[in-house]
Structure 1
Amino acid sequence: MQRIKRTLLLLSLAVACSTAHAAVTGVALVHGTGNQTDAYNDYWQAGMVEGVRNGLTDRNNLLVVNCDFTRYMWDDRAAGCLAGQLTSFIQNRHLDRLIVITHSNGGNVMRWILSNPTWDARYPNIIQHLVKVDAIAPSSAGTPLADAVIAGNVFESALGWLLGYQNDAVRQQQVGWMATYNQQYLLGTAGRPALPVPFRDVVGTDVVSGFWTSQAYCGGYSSSVGLEITQNWLSSCSDGFIECSSGTAAGTLWFKDTQRTSGGSVLNHNQSRRACFGLESILANDIKG
């Protein structure tokens, strides 16, 4: 009997210790091109943020990043700002594990941090805590539309709402420029060393803008129409801004939109930062896993 009591006591202590040391997980949402001061409302919107938050045991362990991503990815106002906010998040919430969800050019800023750990003293600690980066519609190989904006042709007026104008982040996302960065400064693309943590791509494959289909209205009908127009200057597989080849250029493919979205819906570039077709639930369930 004494032996049984001792065994039960040891088991209870083991369970208590396991519970006490349960890993604390946090999620950071990292926006794309733009100088954000309220990315919760202006970039992601509540449906997306709160939907992702549902995947957390402690709902307070979510950070919506606000940085100036009109700058080059290495700029202190871009990667430096992101590193500062992630570092404070890890420290203040006592995180053991960090999952980052990025959109568009946010993936490039995260890849800069992952690829250049000696650039900033804060980078190694961030990398140490990172479990994975889920990169939604990343512009890992740039986009021809950035070239068009920098050239100052008709796209500048058509894409101001999406890209901004001739800023450094747009200049950086020109196809040739990103090829150089990928060859010399960034990890994770073909022929380069792997990134230190999984970098998983979510890729949009098409744009639906017909007024008769409900798919076109999620995220805003005017955005769907605009992306349908810009898609004419891209390859057949694109989300209206990022070609599929660019979206899968770094890391590994997690899924293409139609493989997991409700009803097999496509995600245009605007919809992939919104609570469209169950995307927020896919991300939340992945956090739980």
Structure 2
Amino acid sequence: MRTLLFGLSLAAASPWAMAADVTGVAFVHGTGLQTDAYQNYWNPQFVDSVRQGLADPADHVVINCDFDQRMADPRAAGCLAEQLTTFIRDRKITRLVVLTHSHGGNVMRWILSNPTLDSRYPAIIDKLVKVNAIAPSSAGTPLADAVMNGSAFDQALGWLLGYQSDSVREQQVSWMATFNATQLYGTAGRPALPKPFRTVVGTDVDSSPFDSDSYCGGYAETLALETTQNWLSSCSDGFLECSSQSAAGTVWFTDKARMAGGEPLSHNQSRRPCFGLDVVLRNDLKL
């Protein structure tokens, strides 16, 4: 018995002994060129709340890339791969959870769907546990078509989409249909993604000036999304129809099913600490 205990103690002290898992979370923004997504895309309160679900809240990274470019562009998928690779290496991450919003889900799906195109992709996929995709534009949006066609949306949606960038062009409905049929996995009739891609679907926009919930994330943004919702189906978050958000992977939950008071999440509110969204995402990191 003494010999056995001595051997076990040596094994525990050995540098080759199995180390504990280290879970990390990466926040992957949507459309746009970001240099400080912590402040300008997400929100410090949102990020800092979610990362409290980690054993070590320092094991997180907020991605800053140029998602005005095509998914496959080195400044988009290449930048994302480099920052994820550095994060995994520097923080010794063994379990990676990726939290994406909007077009960020498409860039992440590009990596998952094309593992042989970049030497960094396989190691990222190996460490990846799941992608929690909030309001992903998996099947595009008619608003991107409107912007690219130079309609009045070009000005009205500049704050939301940007102006006729390559990423907006890719989020046109017909373009995403082509990508989903040929180069991306996870949609109906296509191969499954190698790791879970779970979506959070925003189903409505509530902009009543008499309801304090409408002010979460900024009332001006909520009101603008209420306006753009008029050009979408009745089930939408003001930017994306529910069918687009749920086109890839599996639906984790719809907003009203999990948010406090059964509140909907507009496309802007789904990257803010609104109605307990941050708490749901925080608790999921512990699973």
Q: TM-score range by the shorter chain?
A: over 0.9
Kindly state the Cα deviation for residue 173 of structure 1 after the two structures are TM-superposed.
Answer: 0.1
Cross-structure match for 2:165: 167
* Aligned twin of 1:126: 124
Q: Which residue of 2 aligns with 1:255?
A: 253
Match of 1:188 in 2: 186
Over the aligned positions, Cα root-mean-square deviation in angstroms equals: 1.7
1:242 alignment partner in structure 2: 240
C-alpha displacement of 1:21: 1.6
Deviation at residue 47 of structure 1 after TM alignment: 1.0
Q: Write the letter of the residue equivalent to 2:101.
A: H
1:48 counterpart (46, 49, 67): 46
Match of 1:75 in 2: 73
Kindly provide the CA deviation profile for residues 113-148 of structure 1, in whole angstroms up to 9, marking residues without a partner as x.
000011111111111110000000000000000000
Residue 146 of structure 1 is aligned with which of 139, 144, 147? 144
AA partner of residue 107 (structure 1): G
Q: TM-score scaled to structure 2, two decimals?
A: 0.96
> Which residue type is aligned with residue 135 of structure 2?
A
CA distance in 1, matches of 2:7, 2:147: 66
- Cα distance in 2, alignment partners of residues 169 and 211 from structure 1: 33
Secondary structure, counterpart of 1:134 in structure 2: strand
Displacement of 1:276 after TM fit?
Answer: 0.6
| Amino acid aligned to 2:184 | L
2:134 maps to what in 1? 136
Q: Does residue 233 in structure 1 map to residue 223 in structure 2?
A: no
- Extract unaligned runs of 5+ from structure 2: none
Query: How many residues of Structure 1 are paired with residues of Structure 2 in the alignment?
Result: 286
CA shift, 1:16, in A, is 7.9
- Structure 2: how far apart are the matches of 1:226 and 1:266? 15
SS of the residue aligned with 1:54? helix
1:182 to 1:212, Cα distance in 2 relative to 1, 3 A: same
Amino acid at match of 1:274: R
**What is the TM-score with the length of structure 1 in the denominator?**
0.95
Identity %: 65
Per the alignment, do residues 16 and 77 of structure 1 end up closer, same or farther by CA in structure 2, a change over 3 Å counting? same
Q: What is residue 270 of structure 1 aligned with on the other side?
A: 268
Amino acid at match of 2:255: D
Secondary structure of the 2:97 match is strand
Please state if 1:223 is matched with 2:204.
no
* C-alpha spacing 1:232/1:96, structure 2 compared with 1 (3 Å): same
Provide the rounded CA distance (Å) in 2 between the counterparts of 1:15 and 1:53: 30
Q: Secondary structure at the match of 2:136?
A: coil
Question: Segments of 4+ in structure 1 off by > 2 A?
Answer: 5-17
In 1, the alpha carbon distance for the partners of 2:13 and 2:110 equals: 40
Select which of 17, 22, 38 maps to 2:20.
22
Deviates more, 1:7-16 or 1:92-101: 7-16
Structure 1 gaps, min length 5: none
